Structures are given as C-alpha cells and as structure tokens.
Amino acid sequence: MENINRIKVVLVEQGKTGKWLAEQLGKDPSTVSKWCTNVIQPSIPTLEKIAKLLSVDRRELLNKSR
C-alpha cells in the first residue's frame, strides 16, 4: 500500500489528533483514522477543508508522486 497522504504527519507536527480533525469536519473518527493510515483517501474538497483547518497548503498533505 502506498502512502498517498501525509495527514497524520501534519497532525502530529501540529500537536493535533485525528479525533480533533474528525470533530472539526463532522466526520466519524474511524473515517479519519483510515485517512491517516492511507487505507482510504479523502475527497479533494475534504482535503481542501483539512488544509484550511491546519493552515497549510493542500500540497503539504500529499506525498510527492514518483
């Protein structure tokens, strides 16, 4: 499985949790957990919301493609 996103890394860098992110987005914590472990990926609009909540460019939430 390829790690497409860096959501968990950015959350840790900012001292925030997946539970916090789930509350902010109104999502189930298990969904956010799956994003953080790259089991599933958030939609592009959701990725944009995550970037705004974390005050980062959305590109910082994605690993560079090879």
The one-character DSSP state at 63 is P
pTM for this entry: 0.92
| Domains of the chain: total | 1
Position 1 in a domain: no
Quote helix, strand, coil % in the chain, to nearest 5.
60, 5, 40
- Residues 2-60: pLDDT tens digits? 799 999 999 999 999 999 999 999 999 999 999 999 999 999 999 999 999 999 999 99
CATH number for the domain that contains residue 13:
1.10.260.40
Q: Per-residue pLDDT for 65 more than 80?
A: no
Position 61 in a domain: no
Q: Which residue has the tokens 């599933």?
A: 40
Cβ contacts of residue 18 below 8 Å, gap of 6+?
8, 11, 29, 32, 33, 36
Position 65 in a domain: no
* Distances in whole angstroms, Cα of residue 40 to Cα of each of 14, 15, 30, 55: 22, 23, 11, 22
Position 64 in a domain: no
